[in-house]
């Protein structure tokens, strides 16, 4: 199973084995990490915003036009900001590191 | 707060989303009267605010129904129970006063109820405010999320932030009367009517608007409630200082749990923890249903919310009428009771 590391806002690192087929958001929720993900992955809330480690950004895949549209309503974006309900876990993501953002 | 009006009811329902609306029905079947409060000016919660035109496929016995139609049908179903709606006002306080719950809204209204059902979804819908230091001190004076009077901007230097229809439409509406109009957006593409976007680009070519792209808001500068400049930056860290008298911020709606955090309830990651068979919260007489209710393996589905409401209404009956027998009847036997 691909290993995923979440870095919390306070710097704490949480490592987990993720199931292929889930999204990064689902993995974070399963771990009960501080993330709202209020719309449950419906691409309607932007509260699952993360910053992907630069080395991994390309591997997380294309950002869809709908995700770009919703990112327009997010704040404090970085060049590797993503909505993590839109990142499906694949074997290629073994080692992925993402940082959580403040819960608003 | 302007005027003080107090209403009395059996059950106060916070949130007029699909689950709040169906709470009226289930309470009504047990002959409990209801008042419903929502921060939005319209009923329907997420169905109305986020996806009125989208078809929903997993409502039992409705193979395909849009968000807007679902809400219309719920409204029709609950009509016999004469619910009283207080819209466009957030519930800001919930207190127990000698056994009754007093809800106070931002508009100064009070509802006194024997039991409360919280169907607040992900929290009250309100403007998505950029997280800029000190923004509150300018709000409604020189920082705006909603425009009521365009004359306010005559001969003023304005910064419009956002990339959707509101940003584009207001840029078109104000370019002629404002002294300077900047539109700050993080990328080339705007999520707005293509004709409007084309008009905006034309105005930019004529020098009536300046498109500040690809920039994000960074900070505000001003004195008291008077803005004097808006600082923006690119992802690469380039800065610009836009001298401005007003900021018009259009980033859509977001949900904020806000005051619900302060009501002594067990809240975790935006959910109110409930006992799933009754939807009782950690506070007696207060129930939570729908998206905001949390318990192990919770599914944020409309149909789960509907079922939770039936459980909650029966549990609330015991609070509203502690000395009355709770008699279970199917709707086919009872019909629609009159209140
Ligand atoms: C794009 C999208 C597609 C979806 N598709 C489906 C689907 O196919 N099937 C399905 O079952 N579900 C779907 N959902 C989820 C569904 O919409 C939610 O489960 C449902 O809306 C929850 O209803 P609710 O009444 O609990 O909360 P909401 O609909 O969120 O309504 C809560 C209301 O409470 C109000 N409120 C909150 N706090 C306060 C306060 N303090 N004072 C006053 N008012 C307050 C809010 O303003 C809001 O209007 C979808 C959601 C989205 C975003
Ligand atoms: S969970 Fe809402 S957009 Fe990702």
Range of the domain at B59: 6-126+254-334
CA–centroid distance, residue B292 to ligand 1 (Å):
9
Q: Residue B116, class by beta-carbon neighbours within 10 Å (0-12 exposed, 13-18 middle, 19+ buried)?
A: buried
d(CA B215, CA B240): 9
CATH of the domain at A57: 3.10.20.30
The residue among B229, B251, B273 that closes a domain is B251
The residue among B236, B10, B39, B215 whose CA lies nearest residue B114 is B10
Name residues whose C-beta falls within 8 Å of residue B198's C-beta, 6 or more positions apart in sequence.
Answer: none
In this structure, the answer to whether residues B36 and B185 fall within a common structural domain is: no
> How many angstroms separate the CA of residue A46 from the nearest CA in chain B?
9
**pLDDT for residue B339:** 82
Question: The complex's ipTM?
Answer: 0.90
Q: Say whether residue A9 is in contact with chain B using an 8 A CB cutoff.
A: no
d(CA B43, CA B60): 21
| Residue B5: CB atoms within 10 Å | 12
Tokens of B261: 């955090």
**C-alpha B246, offset from chain centre:** 25
The CB of A24 under 6 Å from ligand 2? The reply is no
Nearest CA in chain A to B51: A44
**Which residues does residue B26 pair with via DSSP β-bridges, in sequence order?**
none
The residue among A66, A62, A19, A58 whose CA lies nearest residue A41 is A66
In this structure, the answer to whether residues B223 and B141 fall within a common structural domain is: yes
Residue B255: list chain A partners with CB under 8 A.
38, 45
Candidates B48, B122, B185, B213: best to mutate against A (most CBs of A within 10 A) is B122
pLDDT at A31 over 70: yes
pLDDT at A104 over 80: no
CA–centroid distance, residue A57 to ligand 1 (Å):
32
Name residues whose C-beta falls within 8 Å of residue B309's C-beta, 6 or more positions apart in sequence.
Answer: B19, B22, B23, B25, B26, B117, B119, B279, B289, B290
Domains: count for chain A: 1
Q: What pLDDT, in 10s, does the model give residues B103-151?
A: 999 999 999 999 999 999 999 999 999 999 999 999 999 999 999 899 9
Q: Is B180 helix (H, G, I), strand (E, B) or coil?
A: strand
Residue B339 lies in a domain: no
Q: pTM score, two decimals?
A: 0.92
**pLDDT for residue B4:** 64
In this structure, the answer to whether residues B232 and B326 fall within a common structural domain is: no
CA–centroid distance, residue B45 to ligand 1 (Å):
5
Identify which of B120, B261, B263 to mutate to test ligand 1's pocket (most ligand atoms within 8 A of the CB). B120
For residues B171 and B193, is the Cβ–Cβ distance under 8 A?
Answer: no
CA–centroid distance, residue A39 to ligand 1 (Å):
8
In this structure, the answer to whether residues B134 and B69 fall within a common structural domain is: no
Residue A79: list chain B partners with CB under 8 A.
235
Residue B316 lies in a domain: yes
In this structure, the answer to whether residues B245 and B285 fall within a common structural domain is: no
In this structure, the answer to whether residues B135 and B246 fall within a common structural domain is: yes
Range of the domain at A85: 3-100
The CB of A83 under 6 Å from ligand 2? The reply is yes
Residue B1 lies in a domain: no
In this structure, the answer to whether residues B72 and B27 fall within a common structural domain is: yes
Mean pLDDT of the A73-95 span: 96
Name residues whose C-beta falls within 8 Å of residue B56's C-beta, 6 or more positions apart in sequence.
Answer: B47, B62, B64, B65, B66, B67, B70, B302
Helix (H), strand (E) at residue B78: helix B67-78
pLDDT at B21 over 80: yes
The residue among B251, B271, B292 that closes a domain is B251
Domains: count for chain B: 2
Residue B174 lies in a domain: yes
CATH of the domain at B245: 3.50.50.60
Q: Is A92 helix (H, G, I), strand (E, B) or coil?
A: helix
Nearest CA in chain B to A66: B191
In this structure, the answer to whether residues B245 and B274 fall within a common structural domain is: no
**pLDDT for residue B5:** 77
């Amino acid at each position: 199973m691909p290993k995923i590391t979440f870095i919390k806002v306070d710097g704490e690192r949480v490592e987990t084995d993720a199931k292929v087929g889930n999204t990064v958001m689902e993995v974070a929720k399963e771990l009960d990490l501080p993330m709202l993900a209020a719309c449950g992955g419906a691409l309607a809330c932007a509260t699952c915003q993360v910053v992907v480690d630069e080395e991994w950004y390309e591997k997380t895949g294309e950002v869809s036009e709908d995700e770009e549209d919703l990112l327009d309503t997010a704040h404090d974006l970085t060049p590797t900001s993503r909505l993590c309900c839109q990142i499906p876990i694949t074997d290629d993501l073994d080692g992925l590191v993402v940082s959580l953002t403040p819960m608003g | 707060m302007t005027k003080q009006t107090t209403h009395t009811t059996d059950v106060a329902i916070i949130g007029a989303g699909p689950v709040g609306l169906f709470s009226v029905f289930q309470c009504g079947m047990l002959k409990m009267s209801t008042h419903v409060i929502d921060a939005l000016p319209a009923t329907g919660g997420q169905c109305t605010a986020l996806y009125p035109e989208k078809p929903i496929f997993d409502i039992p016995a409705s193979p395909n129904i849009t968000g807007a139609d679902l809400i219309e049908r719920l409204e029709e179903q609950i009509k016999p129970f004469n619910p009283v709606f207080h819209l466009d006002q957030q519930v800001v306080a919930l207190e127990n006063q000698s056994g009754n719950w007093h809800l106070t809204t931002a508009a100064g209204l009070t509802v006194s109820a024997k039991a409360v059902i919280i169907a607040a979804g992900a929290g009250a819908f309100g403007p998505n405010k950029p997280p800029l230091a000190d923004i509150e001190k300018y709000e409604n004076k020189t920082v705006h999320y909603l425009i009521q009077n365009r004359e306010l901007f005559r001969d003023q230097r304005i910064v419009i932030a956002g990339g959707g229809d509101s940003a584009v439409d207001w840029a078109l509406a104000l370019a002629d009367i404002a002294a300077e109009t900047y539109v700050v957006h993080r990328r080339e593409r705007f999520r707005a009517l293509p004709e409007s976007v084309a008009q905006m680009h034309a105005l930019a070519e004529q020098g009536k608007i300046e498109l500040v792209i690809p920039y994000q808001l960074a900070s505000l500068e001003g004195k008291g409630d008077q803005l004097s400049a808006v600082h923006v930056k690119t992802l690469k860290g380039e800065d610009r200082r836009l001298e401005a008298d007003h900021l018009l911020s259009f980033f859509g709606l977001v949900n904020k749990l806000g005051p619900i955090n302060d009501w002594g309830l067990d809240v975790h990651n935006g959910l109110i923890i409930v006992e799933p068979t009754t939807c009782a919260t950690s506070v007696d007489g207060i129930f939570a249903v729908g998206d905001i209710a949390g318990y192990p393996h919770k599914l944020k589905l409309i149909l789960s919310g509907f079922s939770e409401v039936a459980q909650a209404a029966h549990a609330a009956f015991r609070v509203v009428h502690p000395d009355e027998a709770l008699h279970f009847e199917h709707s086919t036997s009872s019909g629609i009771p009159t209140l």
